[in-house]
Amino acid sequence: MRIRTNEPVKVLTVYDPEKGRTIPHRIKWQNEVHTIRTISYYHRERRGENVYHIYHVNDGAFDFRILCDSESLSWKLEEVVDGVGA
Amino acid sequence: MKLSINSIEPLVMHIDLNSCFATVCQQAYRNLRGKPLVIGAYETPKAIILAPSIEAKRFGIKTGMPVYEAYELCPSLIVRQPDTGLIRDVHVKFRAICECYSPDVAPKSIDEVVIDFTHTRHVEKRDLSDVGTEIKRRLREEVGDYLKCNVGIATNRFLAKVAASLHKPDGLDSINHKNLLDVYRSISLLDLPGINVRYQARLNTQGIFTPMDFYHASFMSLKRGVFQSIVGYHWYMRLRGWEVDGIEFKRRTVGQQYALGKKTNNPRELSRILMKLCEKMGRRLRRKGYVAYGIHVGCAQADGTYWHTGRKTHHAIYTTHELYREAQYILNKRPPEPIVTRLSVHCYDIEHPVGSQATFFDMEEKKRKVAGALDTINNRYGEYTITPALMMNMDKTVIDRIAFGQAGIESGD
């Protein structure tokens, strides 16, 4: 299953002062709370002058691609993948 | 001329990320790890595969194969398009790690880097195999735990690349004057970088069937018989571990090309694509601070032919409008019947401007100022915030791609 979307999503984050990084901890998607177990990849992308923080995270079942807009400090869910089927 | 094998200490390291596009995708999506995955130009059955994962390669799936053929080999295949932002980020982080060991780091493509330790050996005194092992470890720890790379160490770039291809994936090999001939005995001509089936056929006609035959071929037979040019001399040196590829050529052209998803000979549709190509090319040309004095347009056509024409200009061109006007002039000369499958545009004779010649009319100057203002807006608010009207509704056409070959990615791109 692969769902491509562009919906605002509720994200609980934790700031880790040792790593100097903000880490998404939980996502609420389709009325279900997903606790993030691993951050598979993090990178930044510049679109114009605006910087987007893109996290690929996994809750043990699904891969989520979530994006934080550094200007509006809003979060969006871009993709959900469970790896089953094409 | 008779030259022995170069016996100096191997100080050139070639690092190659394994199945880069696919592995980066598997790094980001844990659910795709360990599964046959290919990165295609598109996700449609007729699209060409750009990179198969290590798992997909075990089914015999190769780069360049259409997706529908790959499905026949592996029905459970997963197909994805490249995530260009992700791949570029991995490249930048990977290159930053390599630059910790030597300032002589040359990216050969998005997934290949050459580190030359020749001028920094007095600083980096460790065995280069240890350095290679450390780079592998840092790649996993600092970039992504699923990423693997092959490391090859030799006396020149060519042999370092051969060494990096000996044990895939995740290998580390060194070629020196002691084991060079053993390596040549264990591989075929097509395993040598730069030797494709056409070169192989050319070598075969001269009685060269193995790398050992190639190595034993005399300088004159390579120069006069096989290659009939200086290229024969280069191969003679290369095969013995002497460096002939360490020259960084300056950029000569800036261009864009696009394989049409929907093949057409409709002049209006081709003009719209040409405009978008010129806009992308113009943005790159201006970002690098160049102007051009020539433009070239090429069309691969459905009947298998290739039509192309170039034209020099008397004045420097650099705004999108100027580039498009010149390119459209050339495209109008194309015979209208053949259906176009791929459209490309390149500008050449590029150079940094040394002040523009004054004109009687200041229209050109005004246009350039407008181009500068549009670039500033697009830099601030994102690509294609303002575009020429001809490009309306073309967001999904000529999408961002990673070119094969030399990578010119800056950290801030």
The whole-angstrom separation of Cα B59 and Cα B77 is 10
Q: Give me the pLDDT at residue A67, please.
A: 95
pTM: 0.79
What are the residues facing A26 on neighbouring strands? A12, A35
Distance set, CA B271 to CA B325, B328, B330 (Å): 10, 7, 11
Judged by CB atoms closer than 8 Å, whether chains meet at A81 and B32 is answered as: yes
Structure tokens at B88: 């570029």
For residue A19, what pLDDT band results from cuts at 50, 70 and 90? confident
Q: Out of A38, A49, A54, name the one closest to residue B30 (CB).
A: A38
Q: How confident is the model over B101-157, as pLDDT tens digits?
A: 999 999 888 889 999 998 888 777 889 999 999 999 999 999 999 999 999 999 999
Q: How confident is the model over B161-187, as pLDDT tens digits?
A: 999 999 988 999 999 999 999 999 999
Interface confidence, given as ipTM, is 0.94
Q: Out of B31, B382, B412, name the one closest to residue A63 (CB).
A: B31
B169 Cβ contact list (under 8 Å, min separation 6)? B18, B19, B54, B148, B150
Q: Is B31 touching A (CB cutoff 8 A)?
A: yes
Mean pLDDT of chain B: 87
Judged by CB atoms closer than 8 Å, whether chains meet at B85 and A40 is answered as: no
Chain A residue whose CA is closest to B44: A86
Q: Give me the pLDDT at residue A50, please.
A: 86
Provide, as residue numbers in chain B, all residues whose Cβ is less than 8 Å from the Cβ of A4: none
Residue type at position B96: A
Q: Give me the pLDDT at residue A38, please.
A: 94
Q: Give me the pLDDT at residue B30, please.
A: 94
Shortest Cα distance, chain A CAs vs residue B276, angstroms: 18
Q: Give me the pLDDT at residue B411, please.
A: 39
Q: Is the pLDDT of residue B393 over 80?
A: no
Chain B residue whose CA is closest to A66: B28
- Rounded to 5 degrees, φ, ψ at B222 are -70, -45
Q: Is B411 touching A (CB cutoff 8 A)?
A: no
Q: Is the pLDDT of residue B404 over 80?
A: no
Q: Is the pLDDT of residue B357 over 60?
A: no
Size of interface A-B (CB pairs under 8 A): 59
Q: Give me the pLDDT at residue B413, please.
A: 35
Residues B274 and B330: beta-carbon distance below 8 Å? no
Q: How deeply is B366 buried, as exposed, middle or buried, from its count of CB atoms within 10 A (0-12, 13-18, 19+)?
A: exposed
Q: Give me the pLDDT at residue B397, please.
A: 59
What's B223's DSSP letter?
A: I
Residues B12 and B160: beta-carbon distance below 8 Å? yes
Chain A residues contacting B via beta carbons under 8 Å:
38, 40-41, 43-50, 54, 56, 58, 62-63, 65, 81-84, 86
Chain B residue whose CA is closest to A56: B28
